[in-house]
Chains A and B, each alone.
Chain A
Amino acid sequence: MNYQMIGFVIGRILWTEAALLLLPELTALLYGEPLLPFLGPIALLLLAGLPLRRRPKQTALYARDGFAVVALAWVLMSAFGALPFVVSGYIPNFVDAFFETVSGFTTTGATILTAVEPLSQSILFWRSFTHWIGGMGVLVFVMAVLPMTDGHGMHLLRAEMPGPSVGKLVSRMSDTAKILYGIYLVMTLVEIALLVVGGMPLFDSCIHAFGSAGTGGFSSKNLSVGAYDNAYFDVVIGIFMLLFGVNFNLYYFLLVRRFRDVFRSEELWAYAAIVGAAVLAIATDILHMYESFAQSLRYSFFQVASIITTTGYATADFNLWPTFSKGILVVLMFVGACAGSTGGGIKVARIVILAKTSWGDMRKMLHPNAVTTTRFEGKALTDKHIRSVHLFITVYLIVFTVSFLLLSLNGFDIVTTFTAVTACINNIGPGLEAVGPMGNFAGFAWWSKLLLSFDMLVGRLEIFPMLLLFAPSIWKRRRIVWRT
């Protein structure tokens, strides 16, 4: 374990967070709001990073160091990021503020606030800005700005980026990170511009663009996007949510004119098919609740886009929709967005691989001697890949089940408990019943909030970094000898 290098990277991340806090500080300055809620944490972050500023001689980070760095960085960032809420007095309880910040960074969008409109502009800005930072990942950002390690850095990227197989776009990791952040930034700016053109105030446009770019879901309105009741906003935000749910590698391929790779992306087709089918099914199912098909299509489209990309914005209280529609939405919660996007969930790529291998294995039952190879994105899948997908799903289900059982101790009804865990582990935000789109997580006990915070981090970091943080061999200095 390279403790010194882990410390160094963590120190740099804390300083990066301090720099990022300058933006809400600026907002506070613009709106004439108190500056202390941000100045305090900035000073604290700078101070905390000070003893870690020395770059160690040995800079290699191996696999376990990578996992440890990523998990620790996210926990620490959330802890420090919660301070503005506490200091400003809007969320005096630290556990609540921690939940809110974790929900922000992991792009979940679950809130413990019963009303968001009383919050000051700068706090609202920080709350949504955490989505934008967390969407693409902090370590990716730090790598883009400061190249840190000589080698083995791939472990860091892999631990933070969502998806079953993480590749680089270009050979330099820092260049890859720059390209990704470049695409991310430009798309966010385009969305802000489109919303402003449609008549949304600039501040609200930023908030909702951050929310949809990171596929987070924090809004500045109690009624979420539904507060505007504007079809143009619904369409713009809906489309952009779907766009941010697409693998970012495809945008890079578009940029370098590799159109064929985009067109042939199996995951993209599957994603489009799932979205299309779900939109039509729900639109038909809720037709009787609205005046016209166009109306029901509008609400159905927005909600499907919001849920499959794990954003969690709402234009309608889908808690009141028929059970079939709610069922589809809950299934979509598990499916999630594409690998390599800012969205959460199991990811379309894994679902496709799982479906294909299951089909192949079943065919083998009928023809025991048949040779089956499963192909994905035009390449034959190796056993290692398939096993890693199976492992992911298995561990995912175990974590889900344990969390569900523990949360049920809190005494809520079964739908609330189930969808609360679903919404948190898949980084969506709203669930059904008490935690539905118009509800919130305020009613949970403090330990439930910590459990759900853990689930959100598990979901965002794709399970293993958070779980491996508890593996003894990560922290023990000596090798553990297993006696049998």
Chain B
Amino acid sequence: MSDWKMVIGLEVHSELATNTKLFCSCRNKFGGEPNTNCCPVCTGMPGALPVLNKKAIEYAIKMGLAVGCTINNYSVFERKNYFYPDLSKAYQISQLEYPLCVGGGLEIEVEGKKKFINLDRIHVEEDAGKLIHDNTGTMIDYNRGGVPLIEIVSKPDISSAEEAVAYLEKLRETLLYVEVSDCKMQEGSIRFDVNLSLHKEGEPLGTRTEMKNLNSFRAVSRAIKYEAKRQAEVLNSGGKVIQETRRWDDEAGKTYSMRTKEDSQDYRYFPDPDLVPIETSDEYIDSIRKTLPKLPQERIIEYQKLGLTEQDAKLITTERKNADYFEAVVSLFNEPKFVCNWICSEIFKKLNSSEEIDTDIQVSAENLAKLLKLYKNNTINQAVARQLFDEMWKSDFDPEVAVNERGLAQMNDTTDLEKILQKIIEDNPKATAELKAGNQKTMAFFIGQTMKATAGKANPKLVGELLQKLIN
């Protein structure tokens, strides 16, 4: 295996999060009773005609711009003709000769090594329906038929399973950032095809096989490792790799031959005469460019300039909603590192412990900024800050108001605190003796007692200082 080099190209199908389907006004929604989000267009009835969804084009362009593609001013939908029960018209409307987006790419990092993966193209096409099998037959549900997809095709620049996963993670992150797809793998809204071949350094490329419809990063990684090993074994034993489509069986952890190139389909692509070419002006493309959010790579650099470590900057930018939230809080309370620490600890803890997959941050940026300000300037101590935050997460409120109304401000008055400490020292001679003897562990006991006596409002730092003064 060792001297074989993997050459991998990935095709990623991602459903676009539009309201309606690509060519009709039926709802674009996962699941539902079979054939209830359907009409004559998406079930291929005689006489029905497709009408292109503007939003789908906008979303595809948006993604194209986010990964540095050139957007073609002239783009054409073509028919890919083949018979299969999930394809109601017996052709899929897709793009071949004139795709919407070409070129571009994105940078990945594997074990500290950066690498740029080039894209070949991004094109728009419609999804097929869903087949459900039981022991009597195959049932066809066209609810998914006609849902808009983009197919993102990479150049064969990927050379390991790790790179493939890094590339896919980056792509997913970008899709979520520009908000064109929900990327829910469990619902199949993002799916992967892998093309893989082996060759030796300096030698021409080998014959490739294709594995279709993988639906998790793990499956991609395992399929690549398995298939590379299989091809290497074939080649090492003097055999030849056959150009074919292979099915990945996730349970068995193996690939199986599906069809070879000889009986591969002749798709007879030609421009769909029911649709007109899509002409997009530079002005239109620019207007979409203006709606692009700042992307992670840009934010990571920016955040580091604000004083965050690279690791923290990466962590906070993995999801756009967190990064946007971070920026919103910082704009109100300019202590980036302090804000970042709170988000990465307190907020991520809440998000991760939530049972729902897509929990939103429950505290407004304004209120968190106020809370952190109160904490940072010693108006409240950490315990109170955490307690308030807990309450705010359940039902958001203005912490300034709460601190005032409930008198939660820290006791920073030394005379008052001294009196309280004096009493605690008198009541606890044993502990005082230990503290005097230098047992710092008892400090915690005293702080605890002070908090109890002040309803948690004492400034712990101040308590420590006063205590040292009093016992000496």
A binds B: no
B residues adjacent to A (C-beta < 8 A): none
A residues adjacent to B (C-beta < 8 A): none
